[in-house]
Amino acid sequence: MDTLNSHQLSMTVLMTPDMANFSGKVHGGAILKLLDQVAYACASRYAGKYVVTLSVDQVMFRQAINVGELVTFLASVNYTGTSSMEVGIKVVAEDILKQSVRHANSCFFTMVAVDDAGRPTAVPALEPQTADEVRRCAAARIRRQLREEMEQRHAVLLAGGIGADA
């Protein structure tokens, strides 16, 4: 049985030829789709509710992923608001033949729990237990604050007519 807490999830997927782009590497879109599925699974399991993706932040494609590699997605709910959760995901690629493992990707999803009518609904508060969880929670709070400040600036710009045609 999985020893992870309800706020954590691990998923491993074999990268197959149907996931390849024209250069023979795994297509970024295939990775994004898997990331969204992992974020959903992690957040919905933690909240015990249906969740939707609100945003994806800081997607860093650090290294290409090759067809034939095993890719492990390590997800964790880092922070909870009233109805939202930040899910951090680290992507680790394993070359089976070379027996090497590397950090290939990282990102942060904001997921929102919704009720049957599609309205935001409360999620359990996350209480960090370890030093790593406390660190992740503090970093998530900073990312949330920065995101809110950017949204406010964007609203001011749009209200002033700047970028209204874009």
In this structure, are strands 8-14 and 50-61 parallel, antiparallel, or unpaired? unpaired
- pLDDT number for residue 153: 83
Taken in order of first residue, the domains within the chain and their CATH numbers are: 8-126 (3.10.129.10)
Q: How many residues does the chain have?
A: 166
- pLDDT number for residue 3: 46
Beta bridge partners of 79: 86
- pLDDT number for residue 77: 97
Provide block-wise average pLDDT over 10 residues at a time, the chain (166 residues). Answer: 72 97 94 97 96 90 94 96 95 96 95 96 93 89 86 81 56
- pLDDT number for residue 1: 40
- pLDDT number for residue 40: 98
**What residues contact 84, with CB distance under 8 A and at least 6 apart?**
54, 110, 111, 112, 113, 120, 123
Nearest to 111 by CA among 162, 60, 35, 164: 35
160 SS3 class = coil
Cα 2 to Cα 130: distance, rounded to the nearest angstrom: 18
What pTM was computed for the model? 0.85
- pLDDT number for residue 146: 86
- pLDDT number for residue 152: 84
Cα 132 to Cα 1: distance, rounded to the nearest angstrom: 23
